[in-house]
Structure 1
Amino acid sequence: MRVAMFGYQTWGHKTLQSIVESEHEVVLVVTHPPSEHSYESIWSDSVEELARKHDIPVHLALRPDDAMRAAVAESQPDIIVANNWRTKLPRDIYDLPTHGTLNLHDSMLPRFTGFSPVIWSLISGASETGLTAHRMDDELDTGDVVVQRAVPIGPRDTATQLVQATIDLIPEVLTEALDAIADGTASWTPQDLAQRTFFHKRADIDSRIDWRWPADDIDRLVRAQSDPYPSAWTHHRGRRISIVKAHVSEGIYGGTPGRIFIHEGDGMAIVAGPNAHLGRNHALVVDVVRTDDGRDVPAVEFFPHGGGYLTDAP
């Protein structure tokens, strides 16, 4: 089939590479210009550079416009494949090819539609994430599913590991979907939208630690904000610090959430959780702190003894 590929960052790069190595022909690549946004300047393999390396026509755009419509129409694709295209495509573009548009989304739809699905999956305590190939329709990530693969979320997995695992699925999922569509054997399954969960874009404030959360929830937040993502953060004595490694305590600790309490093993136990004053919660043991000058410091060095609080604000 003749394929127009819409995509950005490493997800789009892997998608384009997969189509180039398949039996299908890429006739157009549509991608975004480089961005300085914190979540768009990481996982930043260039779709544009890869397309130009293979002499594939490239159209750069921030959002759909008449020039994009003309470029797609001129390329005469049988199908559009989209992965990490950052703005909504209108029907007159996504329905233009004979086979419409196949979108790749890194979750097990209908759960975790929307943005940063792997990070939100880990934060929420989901047992799995994955990759879904589905037909694009008028809503976000709601179209019929053709291929889906799951990735289990392990007890100490980080978002970085899980994102890489879902990226690694792209060639398998995409090739299976395109081949089935091309030979007429594709089986489309409507999503049960009653099970849909929809998450917003992440911003800096979404990485702020709320010490009233249970320790296991904060632990997942720290692992979800693993490098190269911006780390989970809090304030200590008026200065912002990042928590780059932590785990749930063995002991039960009581008091006020955010209290810097006592060393446990090689870390510092921070009181956490709802109703912490009842003394029924585990603490979050901080293992490594990143200071505002970018240094990673062992928690027992950064917190030589207990006392004081970690807080939302300076």
Structure 2
Amino acid sequence: MNVHPGFNPYNRGWFPQVFSIIDGQKVGVTIHEIDDQLDHGPIIAQRECAIESWDSSGSVYAKLMDVERELVLEHFDAIRDGSYMAIPPAIEGNLNLKRDFERLRQLDLNERGTFGQFLNRLRALTHDDFRNAWFVDASGRKVFVRVVLEPELRPDR
């Protein structure tokens, strides 16, 4: 049995919220049986979690931890008694390994893309005080990057 902070079969493996921010795939929590592949076994329960435009990896992960607690508590008795039903994933999905995350960390200041793509990458690499994203400046010094996004407060809501 595994509680995975990802919405299997999307972005199985390491840091699923990072890859969901980048590729726009679903994020959530999955309780699943363990088989011979990473985050792949039959699904016992899962719940999707929304990613807002201002979310970072850290804020999405915090949401996922709340959902994990809720989902485990809701399904604890069935898991303990073995009375749950597990369903194989409908598709294979994709798998991200730690090396895939490591490849994202160094920012190439000459890379071409849209601002939206770069912003999503920075959001995905911003996780609390972790120094994930970085570039090398003209002097050869490594410079770490994080973003802070704050939604407008709306008094009418």
TM range, normalised to the smaller chain? Answer: 0.7 to 0.9
1:56-101 deviations in Å (ceiling 9; x for gaps): xxxxxxxxxxxxxxxxxxxxxxxxxxxxxxxxxxxxxxxxxxxxxx
Match of 1:130 in 2: 28
Secondary structure of the structure 1 residue equivalent to 2:52: coil
Match of 2:125 in 1: 225
Cα distance 1:236–1:142, how it changes in 2: closer, same or farther (>3 A)?
same
In the alignment, residue 91 of structure 2 is paired with which amino acid? L
Match of 1:190 in 2: 88
Paired residues of 2:41 and 2:89 also in contact (CA < 8 A): yes
In the alignment, residue 215 of structure 1 is paired with which amino acid? F
1:141 to 20, 29, 39: 39
Number of residues paired by the alignment?
144
**Aligned counterparts of 2:80 and 2:138: Cα–Cα separation in 1:** 61
Secondary structure of the structure 2 residue equivalent to 1:193: coil
In the alignment, residue 243 of structure 1 is paired with which amino acid? V
Matches of residues 33-48 of structure 1 in structure 2 within 5 Å? none
Larger relative strand fraction: 1
1:163-192 deviations in Å (ceiling 9; x for gaps): 111111222211223311344541211112
**Aligned counterparts of 2:113 and 2:78: Cα–Cα separation in 1:** 45
**Aligned counterparts of 1:120 and 1:166: Cα–Cα separation in 2:** 14
CA shift, 1:245, in A, is 2.5
Secondary structure of the structure 2 residue equivalent to 1:245: coil
**Aligned counterparts of 1:181 and 1:160: Cα–Cα separation in 2:** 29
Paired residues of 1:219 and 1:246 also in contact (CA < 8 A): no
Secondary structure of the structure 2 residue equivalent to 1:169: helix
**Aligned counterparts of 1:184 and 1:244: Cα–Cα separation in 2:** 44
Asked which structure has the greater CA Rg, the reply is 1
Secondary structure of the structure 1 residue equivalent to 2:29: strand
Give yes or no for the alignment of 1:216 onto 2:116: yes
**Aligned counterparts of 2:36 and 2:144: Cα–Cα separation in 1:** 39
**Aligned counterparts of 2:6 and 2:136: Cα–Cα separation in 1:** 32
CA shift, 1:155, in A, is 0.9
Cα distance 1:220–1:183, how it changes in 2: closer, same or farther (>3 A)?
same
Structure 1 unaligned regions, length at least 5 = 1-101, 248-314
Match of 2:19 in 1: 120
Greater relative contact order structure (CA < 8 Å, 6+ sep)? 2
2:3 to 104, 121, 125: 104
CA shift, 1:106, in A, is 0.9
**Aligned counterparts of 1:204 and 1:137: Cα–Cα separation in 2:** 26
**Aligned counterparts of 2:56 and 2:80: Cα–Cα separation in 1:** 37
Match of 1:245 in 2: 147
Give identity over the alignment, percent: 27
RMSD of aligned residue pairs (Cα, Å): 2.1
In the alignment, residue 198 of structure 1 is paired with which amino acid? L
Match of 1:163 in 2: 61
In the alignment, residue 187 of structure 1 is paired with which amino acid? M
2:74 to 169, 172, 176: 176
Match of 2:155 in 1: none
Larger relative helix fraction: 2
**Aligned counterparts of 1:119 and 1:228: Cα–Cα separation in 2:** 15
**Aligned counterparts of 1:157 and 1:145: Cα–Cα separation in 2:** 27
Paired residues of 1:125 and 1:220 also in contact (CA < 8 A): no
Match of 1:68 in 2: none
**Aligned counterparts of 1:217 and 1:122: Cα–Cα separation in 2:** 10
Match of 1:235 in 2: 136
Match of 1:271 in 2: none
1:274-309 deviations in Å (ceiling 9; x for gaps): xxxxxxxxxxxxxxxxxxxxxxxxxxxxxxxxxxxx
